[in-house]
């Protein structure tokens, strides 16, 4: 792994490693209707997500929320201007001016405990690394790595996610 290509990552950029975002809270608890719509949409038939008594018979507190719905719920958060919050624009991090093209470079999830209908969730992210690699056509790409933790209303971690985002110079978009 190349940490720096021709000084692309500055000392000021590296100073952002280890910083965290403010905690973002979902505006309401996860509702049964929301879960039902999601599982109907994806064709999920597992009674764990549909039947309260079945979930309790397996030792759960209530109906379980499908894991990928938990992650998708946070895509709805908007900031004061109504723009979707993007963790690819890290607070305080100034990338080189032309590095405006963003690509998903991978996610890893660790599911720590079930999320239940009625839970209230918060999310907080920490920038853990950044590095540069040359792309297929020799263009330097900046990679930002963040760890995100989602917690329930009791402060218990329910999901840990590691995400890598690639930032490319706008001119490189058409270059493939």
- Mean residue pLDDT of the chain comes to 87
SS3 of residue 40 by DSSP: helix
Residue-level pLDDT at 174: 52
Quick check: 71 pLDDT over 90?
A: no
State both tokens at 103: 């690509």
Q: How many whole angstroms separate alpha carbon 147 and alpha carbon 125? A: 6
What are 102's strand-pairing partners?
167
For 97-107, the pLDDT digits (tens) are: 899 898 999 99
Q: Is residue 50 within 8 Å of 38, Cβ to Cβ?
A: no
Quick check: 88 pLDDT over 60?
A: no
Average pLDDT over residues 148-172: 92
Half-sphere exposure of 103 toward its Cβ, with a 13 Å CA cutoff? 14
SS3 of residue 86 by DSSP: coil
Nearest to 99 by CA among 171, 164, 165, 4: 171
Q: How many whole angstroms separate alpha carbon 28 and alpha carbon 10? A: 40
As a whole-number percent, the residues of the chain with pLDDT over 90 amount to: 66
Please report the domains of the chain, with CATH numbers, ordered by start residue.
Answer: 11-172 (3.10.129.10)
Cβ-based burial of 155 (10 A; exposed 0-12, middle 13-18, buried ≥19):
exposed
Residue-level pLDDT at 80: 40
Residue-level pLDDT at 83: 45
Q: How many CB atoms lie within 10 A of CB 88?
A: 16
Quick check: 39 pLDDT over 60?
A: yes
* pLDDT-based confidence at residue 86 (cuts at 50, 70, 90): very low
State both tokens at 112: 């720590």
Q: Is residue 121 within 8 Å of 158, Cβ to Cβ?
A: yes
Q: How many whole angstroms separate alpha carbon 121 and alpha carbon 111? A: 14
Residue-level pLDDT at 17: 95
Residue-level pLDDT at 3: 53
Residue-level pLDDT at 164: 96
């Amino acid at each position: 792994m190349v940490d720096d290509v021709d000084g692309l990552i500055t000392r000021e950029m590296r100073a952002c490693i280890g910083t965290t975002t403010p905690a973002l809270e979902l505006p309401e608890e996860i509702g049964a209707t929301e879960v039902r719509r999601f599982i109907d949409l994806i064709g999920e038939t597992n009674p764990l997500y549909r039947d309260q008594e079945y979930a309790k018979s397996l030792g759960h507190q209530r109906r379980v929320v499908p894991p990928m719905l938990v992650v998708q719920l946070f895509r709805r958060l908007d900031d004061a201007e109504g723009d979707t919050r993007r963790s690819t624009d890290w607070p305080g991090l100034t990338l080189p001016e032309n590095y405006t093209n963003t690509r998903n470079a991978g996610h890893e999830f660790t599911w720590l405990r079930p999320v239940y209908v009625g839970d209230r969730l918060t999310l907080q992210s920490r920038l853990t690394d950044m590095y540069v690699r040359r792309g297929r056509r020799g263009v330097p790409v900046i990679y930002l790595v963040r760890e995100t933790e989602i917690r329930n209303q009791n402060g218990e971690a329910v999901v840990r996610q590691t995400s890598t985002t690639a930032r490319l110079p706008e001119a490189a978009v058409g270059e493939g």
